[in-house]
């Protein structure tokens, strides 16, 4: 259910921006998702297909950019991506602590199209 409300607000935002720009339709929506949000891309895509019907975003493709969570080493300060079963600093081997990265959730940009050449 969480994904549904997230997808709804991503859709609303994209449609609003596209309409403001006078676009006839949206071709692509670029979404950035941090690993720590727990949002599944498949779920967002699934809900988007349903709720975008009869909006100008109906045919839009979604592209996702995943931001991995990151650790900072307590000993040497090295910052490294979180990987499965890997919590220790690759430089010195000390355990790392989670830092704020990975909570991102926003639209990086949208590609729109215009009804430019059908005025006559
Ligand atoms: Zn280290």
First vs last C-alpha separation in the chain = 46
Distance (angstroms) between ligand 1 centre and the Cα of 59 equals: 47
- The answer to whether residue 118 sits within a structural domain is no
- The answer to whether residue 32 sits within a structural domain is yes
- For ligand 1, a single-atom ion, which residues have Cβ within 5 Å? 73, 75-76, 78, 89, 91-92, 94
Distance (angstroms) between ligand 1 centre and the Cα of 82 equals: 14
Q: 114 falls in which pLDDT band (50, 70, 90)?
A: very high
- The answer to whether residue 119 sits within a structural domain is no
State percent of the chain over pLDDT 70: 96
Distance (angstroms) between ligand 1 centre and the Cα of 72 equals: 8
- The answer to whether residue 84 sits within a structural domain is no
Tell whether pTM > 0.75. Answer: yes
DSSP codes, 38-76:
---HHHHHHHHHHHTTTSTTTTPEEEEEEE--EEEETTT
Could you give the number of structural domains in the chain? Answer: 1
- The answer to whether residue 73 sits within a structural domain is no
Q: What is the pLDDT of residues 48-67, one digit of tens each?
A: 999 999 999 999 999 999 99
The predicted pLDDT at position 119 comes to: 46
With tokens 């109906």, the residue in question is 58
Distance (angstroms) between ligand 1 centre and the Cα of 66 equals: 24
- The answer to whether residue 72 sits within a structural domain is no
Distance (angstroms) between ligand 1 centre and the Cα of 76 equals: 4
- The answer to whether residue 31 sits within a structural domain is yes
The predicted pLDDT at position 118 comes to: 53
Q: How far is Cα 101 from Cα 46, in angstroms, rounded to an integer?
A: 26
Average pLDDT over residues 60-75: 96
- The answer to whether residue 85 sits within a structural domain is no
Distance (angstroms) between ligand 1 centre and the Cα of 71 equals: 10
CATH number at residue 40: 3.30.2320.50
Distance (angstroms) between ligand 1 centre and the Cα of 98 equals: 13
What domain range includes position 8?
Answer: 2-67+102-113
Q: 120 falls in which pLDDT band (50, 70, 90)?
A: very low
């Amino acid at each position: 259910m969480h994904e549904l409300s997230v997808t709804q607000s991503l859709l609303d935002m994209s449609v609003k921006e596209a309409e403001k720009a006078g676009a006839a339709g949206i071709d692509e929506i670029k979404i950035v998702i941090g690993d720590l949000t727990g949002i599944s891309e498949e779920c967002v895509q699934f809900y988007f297909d349903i709720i975008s019907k009869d909006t100008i975003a109906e045919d839009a493709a979604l592209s996702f950019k995943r931001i991995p969570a990151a650790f900072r080493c307590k000993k040497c300060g090295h910052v490294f991506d979180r990987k499965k079963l890997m919590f220790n600093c690759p430089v010195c081997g000390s355990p790392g602590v989670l830092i704020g990265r990975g909570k991102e959730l926003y639209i990086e940009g949208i590609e729109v199209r215009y009804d430019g050449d059908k005025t006559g």
